[in-house]
Amino acid sequence: MRFILLALTLSISACADAQNEDFRTTLEKRLNKSFQDIEVTAVEEAPVEGMLEVELNGRDRVHVTDNGRFMFTGTLFELSETGAEDVSRRRFREARRKGLGKINLDEAISFEAGDEQVEVYVFTDVTCGYCQKLHQQIQAINERGITVHYLAYPRGGMNGQGVALMQKVWCADDRRAALTRAKASGRLQQDPEACNDPVKAQYEKGVAFGVRGTPSIYTREGEKLGGYLPPGKLAAALGLDAAQSGN
């Protein structure tokens, strides 16, 4: 009986996958009649009966009726006794929580606090002005008990101007020093040997997490704290050092 149930489950799953692919193909054709260069990259169940959540071009999320006829791009809120919650934000937070838990920190560039109280993950780009400003304050951030794990996110995509430099940073023997120099001067003293760098993989993870710009700061639980925050405000957002939130 157990084997029959397993076979039935696999059969139902295969049919659902096939229907999903048919829906994606149909929806993509309809979208391309009105919009240019649209690719349906994911289709998931929405919390509203009769609707699906559709990912376009690997990053944008829209809601579509399950017959593919109507689409809307606004924020979907779930209302309850505790208040309104952004459904997409909740989904991204859960995806980030799971994804950040799987990150190999050996592939991040970490600046550890001496008396660590909390960790944050920061998607960064060496050519981003606010990323540079944040890094200028890394010592003050660490002094507040905050460890920073940097992940690569070329804001112009994998064809952007900062990609080559970021790949060199991640291939350097001393990646911390290389990142600091790259953000300060836009170059390295000498180019390291090419390696199997994680820049592309980290960029794709950022896209999956809903990263839209740099810096993007996240807690270990997947909550987005924002973009650039000075040390005091970052500490306050994490529930630390609230008295100095303006610094």
pLDDT of residue 79: 80
Q: Which pLDDT score, from 0 to 100, does residue 180 have?
A: 97
- Establish if 84 belongs to a structural domain: no
What three-state secondary structure class fits 108? coil
64 belongs to a structural domain = yes
User: For the purposes of burial, counting CB atoms within 10 Å of the CB of 169, is it exposed (0-12), middle (13-18) or buried (19 or more)?
Assistant: buried
| E strand segments, the chain | 40-45, 51-56, 60-65, 71-72, 77-80, 83-86, 109-111, 118-124, 146-152, 216-219, 224-226
Cα distance between residue 55 and residue 10, in whole Å:
25
Q: 14: buried, middle or exposed (CB in 10 Å: 19+, 13-18, 0-12)?
A: exposed
The CATH number covering residue 161 comes to: 3.40.30.10
List per-residue pLDDT tens for the chain, 247 residues long. 443 333 333 333 333 444 567 777 888 788 888 787 788 877 878 778 888 888 777 667 888 888 888 888 877 787 877 888 777 777 777 778 888 888 899 999 999 999 999 999 999 999 999 999 999 999 999 999 999 999 999 998 998 888 999 999 999 999 999 999 999 999 998 889 999 999 999 999 998 888 888 999 999 988 889 899 999 999 999 998 554 445 6
Number of domains in the chain: 2
The amino acid at residue 203 is Y
Q: Give the residue numbers spanning the domain of 182.
A: 98-244
Residues 20 and 115 in one domain: no
Q: Is the same domain home to 131 and 197? A: yes
